[in-house]
A = this chain, B = another copy of it.
Amino acid sequence: MASPKGVSLKEVADKAGVSTATVSRVINSKTGVKGETELRVQKVIKQLGYRPNRVAQRLRTTRGASKLIGLLIPDIQNPFYVDIIRGIEQYAYAKNFAIVIGNFSQNEERQKFYIDILKSESVDAFIVAPFPGMNEYVKELVEEGYAVVCIDRGLANVDMDVVKVDNFQGAFNAVEHLIKVGHKRIAHISGNVLIPTTIERISGYEAALSKYGIAIDRDIVIGRNSDYKSGVELTAQLLDIPNPPSAIFTSNNLLTLGALETIHSRGLKIPEEVAIVGFDDMYWAMSLNPPLTAVRQSGFEIGRITIELLHQRIADPTRPFVSIVLKTELIVRNSCGYKLNTKVT
């Protein structure tokens, strides 16, 4: 079984009768190569099917020129992050960056492991969706001079570029919608309160209630983790209290799914017996029965902007840091009481 290494630059140089330096210049379209020579080299490159070895390139090159970006994702099972990845990929390739994904499955140890790997792979830059316990590592990256863009939230006391979503407004709109549809007793199932987005969403929830003069009942604002199981169990808990809520606002897509399971398993009708709005508008939302009203945050757009920022930062490391906040959209379907299908931005 042959195991040929690819064609090397030297082979191209030999065959074309020039030096390696000239071939390198041709590849990187540097100036200073005679048209005739360039053509000859190009021809040989085509002939031999030469592709530069990225490993060698990265070894030689100084940081910022390797065109490799490390991406730290807390949980690839969460479709929201998948959307972000897609957005990043799409635009990264347009700008000729390659990306390597480190999915650490919300596991701190594995996250550290990935950071080390990515560093030793000589990435130019990091895109990080910070997770509790991650602050120190990310701070270190910034201090070591990597270009870093954070998704979803920034870090206290660390200047960096951040791309996030207006969680407060998104939650506010969702709850306001429930109120306008007639609900007065609205519960909130929140996620991990160590995550800032969770807290912002709780604030939005509270602000909406306050605006309409509804007292906040701490018994029906509950949270544990941001996962499916929590959704199932917390919903059961909510429905078991003496005067259960008429509507529930869930803080992310996994919690929503968990809540739905409990609601269906008890045979409760949505929205008549209990209404629900979820944060995150996922691709399955329309296929639910009834279709789910949800707060949409565009992961794809987050990805696009992230790459844009990274590109700018690499080009000009002194550019001032920015924090970009994207608007959410409330997608109204049929899980709250109305039968319409419109957007509230």
Contact = CB atoms under 8 A, between A and B. Distances in A.
Contacts of A287: 256-258, 260-261, 264, 288
A77 interface: yes
B93 A110 contact: yes
A54 interface: yes
Contacts of A51: 116, 119-120
Interface string A77-108: 10100100110010001000010110101000
Chain copies in the assembled complex: 2
A53 B122 contact: yes
Given A3-B145, A290-B264, A122 B85 contact: no
Contacts of A135: none
Nearest to A54: B120
Contacts of A100: 100-101
12 contacts: A3-B63, A3-B145, A4-B144, A51-B120, A54-B117, A55-B58, A56-B59, A76-B85, A82-B82, A89-B105, A258-B287, A264-B290
Interface of A: 1-6, 51-56, 58-59, 62-64, 76-77, 79, 82, 85-86, 89, 93, 98, 100-101, 103, 105, 110, 113, 116-117, 119-122, 143-146, 228, 256-258, 260-261, 264, 270, 283-284, 286-291, 317-318
